[in-house]
Each structure stands twice: as structure tokens, then as C-alpha cells.
Structure 1
Amino acid sequence: MGLDDLVNKGKDLYEQNKDKVDEALKSDQAEDISDKVLGGVADFAKKVLPDSVDGKIDEVRDNLDGAVGNER
């Protein structure tokens, strides 16, 4: 089985379960997990990058967080 076959099977699986995947991505649990992960990544980035980019880090975190979970 080649890489193209695996990609196509993944696409097919997603299409067959699209409603369930979308529901899971918009759940309370997904919101909690995404908040913790994105918050941790943002905090780490703020520690290693110059303070001048803190606002951009927050903006990126907020945009990503809006795509996962059930809160905006």
C-alpha cells in the first residue's frame, strides 16, 4: 500500500464520518483540550520570542482556538 492509497483511505474515512468529526471538534471536551494546548504553546512562545510579538502570538492563539471547540 502506497502513500497515495493511505491518503485516499484517510479522505474516504473522513468523508464517511464527517458529521461525527465535526461534532467532536465542536464539543466541550475539544474546547477544554484546545484551550490547554494552545495556552501552553502560546506561553512557551512568549518565553522564547521577543516581547514585541506577544500580541501576534495571542492573535494566532485566538484564531486557532476559534476553529476548535464550542466557544469563540
Structure 2
Amino acid sequence: MTLDRVKRGQSFKIKEISNDSIRAQALRFGISTGEWLTCEEVVPVGPIVVRKNRQLIAMGRSLAQEIKVEIR
């Protein structure tokens, strides 16, 4: 499953980030493989908002489509 398919309120673990450029973008947000996050909001035709600890991060759908996750 990819991050763009996660529903609001679901907790998930980052399983795989597809390539180096996407991995670099995720690392700028402080997101790496093995981390647990929570989906705070899914904006229709817009970004996915996730919570990491107390920080909210909005990421575009194109980035979210490249990140594989596992739902808790």
C-alpha cells in the first residue's frame, strides 16, 4: 500500500521509499524507513497531512505515491 491511499486517523509505518530523490525529499521532512506516523488529513486532490510526534507535515500526492507503508 502507498501513502496516498492512507485514510484519516490511520497509523502507519514507512516500509520503503522507492528511489534516492524521493528518499531525499522525505528526509527533508524528517521521515525515514521504519518510522510510525499518523494521517491527520487527506485533502481531496491535494496534499496528505501526517503527524510525526507533535509536528504536522503536508506532502504532495506525487511524493506520497512513491512511499510504501504498512497500516497498524
TM-score by length of 2: 0.24
Q: Which has the higher strand share?
A: 2
